Amino acid sequence: QKEVEQNSGPLSVPEGAIASLNCTYSDRGSQSFFWYRQYSGKSPELIMSIYSNGDKEDGRFTAQLNKASQYVSLLIRDSQPSDSATYLCAVKSSASKIIFGSGTRLSIRP
């Protein structure tokens, strides 16, 4: 089992809809969780971080964390074509290492 797992996609969502991206992790001691956005051929960009159970909202983005289920998700409301990218989930493990998932490719269709 991978330490951080994501569905590779592609996930296709119509413009204006909600895109839902999911991530599971194996280390129960993990405390910090992050979402990065990476456009094709570009470097990753941190867009959200979450540390406690529940929801955290920032503009059109909402991160959700459920430590009991070892699950973290990212919701993008009112999806725009500019949201088309690969989204990387990253987890800070109990050993203080940052482990990245392989990413989910999101495509917003007009």
Partner 1 sequence: EAQVTQNPRYLITVTGKKLTVTCSQNMNHEYMSWYRQDPGLGLRQIYYSMNVEVTDKGDVPEGYKVSRKEKRNFPLILESPSPNQTSLYFCASSFRDDLSKNIQYFGAGTRLSVL
**Which residues of the chain form contacts with partner 1 (CB under 8 A)?**
4, 8, 32, 34, 41-46, 49, 88, 90, 92, 96-98, 100-103
Place of tokens 């987890």: 91
Minimum distance between the CB of residue 64 and partner 1, rounded to whole angstroms? 18
Give the integer Cα–Cα distance in Å for 46 and 49: 8
Q: In sequence order, which residues have a C-beta less than 8 Å from that of residue 43 and are 6 or more positions away? A: none
- Nearer to partner 1 (CB atom), residue 21 or residue 88: 88
* Spacing of C-alpha 52 from chain mean position: 15
Minimum distance between the CB of residue 93 and partner 1, rounded to whole angstroms? 11
- Nearer to partner 1 (CB atom), residue 1 or residue 96: 96
Minimum distance between the CB of residue 27 and partner 1, rounded to whole angstroms? 14
Sign of the dihedral through C-alpha 67, 70, 76, 77: negative
